[in-house]
């Protein structure tokens, strides 16, 4: 089963995971969040230890409260551009990384893979 990006990524959007991934364009970038394309993910797990906020999880380990992220990753993987490199986190990432409930901050706009 593929890996899924979950809530801790919102407003942090560290891209270390995208750089660690061996598959081109498996990660997709939104304005303040990343998703994993479930059709290209090879389930290698390289992204999981690379994420500073532990936002990359195997689909079968996604907690019930974050199950909606499975479909969110699938949907936005078809809408957002691919990213393969680290471009640095969001400007306010330190402020947001300890915030637990932040789905209301999710921005559906595509991001810029160039930074």
Per residue in 11-39, pLDDT (tens digit) is 999 999 999 999 999 999 999 999 999 99
Domain for residue 91, yes or no?
no
CATH number at 32 reads 3.30.70.20
Q: Is residue 30 part of a domain?
A: yes
pTM above 0.85, yes or no: yes
Q: Is residue 81 part of a domain?
A: yes
Residue 7 falls inside a structural domain: yes
Kindly state the average pLDDT of the residues 35-52: 98
How many residues comprise the chain?
115
Q: Which helix (H) or strand (E) holds 50?
A: helix 47-50
Which DSSP helix (H) or strand (E) runs through 109?
none
For the stretch 68-86, pLDDT in tens is 999 999 999 999 999 999 9
Count of CA atoms in the C-beta half-sphere (13 A) of 18: 27
Overall domain count for the chain: 1
Question: Cα–Cα distance between 41 and 25 in angstroms, integer?
Answer: 9
Element (H, E) at 83: strand 82-83
Is residue 115 domain-resident? Answer: no
Domain range spanning residue 75? 3-85
């Amino acid at each position: 089963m593929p890996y899924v990006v979950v809530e801790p990524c919102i407003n942090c959007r560290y891209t270390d995971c995208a750089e660690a991934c061996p598959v081109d364009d498996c990660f997709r970038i939104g304005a303040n969040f990343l998703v994993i394309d479930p059709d290209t993910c090879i389930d290698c797990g390289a992204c999981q230890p690379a994420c500073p906020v532990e936002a990359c999880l195997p689909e079968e380990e996604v907690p019930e409260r974050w199950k909606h992220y499975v479909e969110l990753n699938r949907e936005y993987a078809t809408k957002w551009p691919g990213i393969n490199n680290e471009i640095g986190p969001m400007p306010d990432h330190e402020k947001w990384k300890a915030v637990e409930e932040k789905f209301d901050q999710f921005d559906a706009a595509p991001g810029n893979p160039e930074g």
